[in-house]
Amino acid sequence: MNRALNTRIAALTLAAVAAVGVATATAGGWQGPGGHRFHGGPPGPPDPAAMAARMTEHLGLSAEQAEKVTAILTAEQASAETYHTQLRAADEQLRAATANGAFDEASVRQIAGTKAQAMTELEVGHARARSQIYAILTPEQRAQADAMETSRPGRFGRAAGGEQKGRRPR
């Protein structure tokens, strides 16, 4: 095989694995510590009430604020379910389209586009919910939340500033 084809296969495999992880993580199941759901795979979306309880613990939310946070997160989860369903369906389509080594680039691109749009909508909804929650915090709570966010590790072990934990900056 030539190098370009190997690169495409590797990229598609990586995208498929990531998408399966996202879809699996959102499927729901047993609820464990911290409100995260487990079903033999990665944790799913946390319980809105458990998230509000953690925010109350860390930011000192009032009962009214905690109630509003729970409502915002519950609404976001409900609206996100449509996109999670689309991602699961697209994963099934991708598996079927590439079964037994089959590859139709146009079909794979169409499925990938569907997944990208669903993921975009999930990110927009997540940002909207964060903004709504931020709006109900006091200035002191906002400062605390900002400090927590910058010190919290992000994806792939990177801090919010982009530096990977345990490694020297490049």
pLDDT tens readout for residues 44-67: 678 999 999 999 999 999 999 999
For residue 155, what pLDDT is reported? 52
Q: How far apart are CA 134 and CA 129, in angstroms?
A: 8
* List of the chain residues with pLDDT < 70: 1-44, 154-170
For residue 38, what pLDDT is reported? 46
Which residue ranges form the domains of the chain, and what is each CATH number? 3-29+43-144 (1.20.120.1490)
For residue 36, what pLDDT is reported? 46
Q: How far apart are CA 95 and CA 102, in angstroms?
A: 10
The count of other CB atoms within 10 Å of the CB of residue 43 is 19
Which token pair is 30? Answer: 């047993």
Contacts with 35 (C-beta within 8 Å, 6 or more apart), sequence order: 46, 47, 49, 50, 51, 53, 54
- Sign of CA pseudo-dihedral 90, 25, 81, 83: negative
CB 25 within 8 Å of CB 46: no
Residue whose C-alpha is closest to residue 136's, from 49, 29, 34, 64: 64
| Cα angle 87-93-96, degrees, rounded to a multiple of 5 | 145
Q: Can you tell me which residue has the tokens 């669903």? A: 118
